[in-house]
Amino acid sequence: MVGTEPSHEHHGDPPNAQQHADAKPTDVNDDGECLEDAGTVITWNYQGAASKNFLRAAKMLLKKHHPDIFCLMETKTSGDNADTVCCKLGFENWARVEALGFSGGIWVFWSDALQVEILTSHPQFVHMAITEPSGRRWNLSMVYGSPSGYLRRRLWNALSRNKIHVNYPWLIAGDFNAIVSNEECTSTSSPGAHRNSDFKDWIFDEALFDLGFSGQKFT
């Protein structure tokens, strides 16, 4: 399967049952029919992960949902401080993309049940190969698209099948900082057709489809 998580323009609210993104990757046969579900993947844009409030909220989220993969975007924390927070979340396995100053940052955590190989680490995404206990394999890309249009165009160019290793069903999830239509934004002013166009062109070029979402339309 190939798919993208729905993107939203607003993030950082305290978490509840409807404010995290849950995606279950599946295999797709030659007729496009989805096969069995895999484990749970939770992605969350918290906009800063160094506070005690974050740790308390994250531990509650993990206790409730027991995800196999947990990804945080826009952590705004790097270096030793980031390592300290990561260690407190209770995962034995994790990898990070450093925040640039107080912006960006991607953290990925996974359970011991999975074998995860980091194939590409980029300022705006982490691309991985996942092997489940059953032996089934799939690719996962966790994304935090830059708010800068110039840098985000680098993301669309870099996150391409032709430039990274995509050998299995592919799930892409995260915060793209882009939308496919103005209906996905609460702002009364249009974010710009070019912003939509770049994102939609990338989805089309990579033969992706949107998995949709459950819960509130806007976070």
* Per-domain boundaries in the chain: 2-6+41-205
Are 98 and 107 spatial neighbours (Cβ–Cβ below 8 Å)?
no
Kindly write down the DSSP assignment for every residue of 88-113, as one continuous string.
HTT-SEEEEE--BTTB--EEEEE-TT
Q: Which residue has the higher pLDDT, 44 or 219?
A: 44
Q: What is the pLDDT of residue 188?
A: 57
For strands 170-175 and 2-4, give the pairing.
parallel
Q: What is the pLDDT of residue 11?
A: 39
19 pLDDT higher than 60: no
Q: What is the pLDDT of residues 52-69, one digit of tens each?
A: 899 999 999 999 999 999
29 pLDDT higher than 90: no
Q: What is the pLDDT of residues 142-173, one digit of tens each?
A: 999 988 888 999 999 999 999 998 999 999 99
Confidence band of 192 (pLDDT split at 50, 70, 90): low
- Average of per-residue pLDDT values in the chain: 79
Kindly write down the DSSP assignment for every residue of 18-47, as one continuous string.
TSSEEE--EEE-TTS-EEEE---EEEEE-S
Max CA separation in the chain (angstroms): 48
Q: What is the pLDDT of residue 22?
A: 37
Are 18 and 182 spatial neighbours (Cβ–Cβ below 8 Å)?
no
Confidence band of 93 (pLDDT split at 50, 70, 90): very high
User: Measuring CA to CA, how many Å separate 171 from each of 34, 202, 214?
Assistant: 13, 15, 17
Run of H or E including 70? strand 69-73
Are 88 and 58 spatial neighbours (Cβ–Cβ below 8 Å)?
no
User: Measuring CA to CA, how many Å separate 155 from each of 24, 193, 204?
Assistant: 24, 18, 15
For strands 41-45 and 34-37, give the pairing.
unpaired
Q: What is the pLDDT of residues 100-120, one digit of tens each?
A: 766 788 999 999 999 999 999
Confidence band of 186 (pLDDT split at 50, 70, 90): confident
CATH assignment, 2-6+41-205: 3.60.10.10
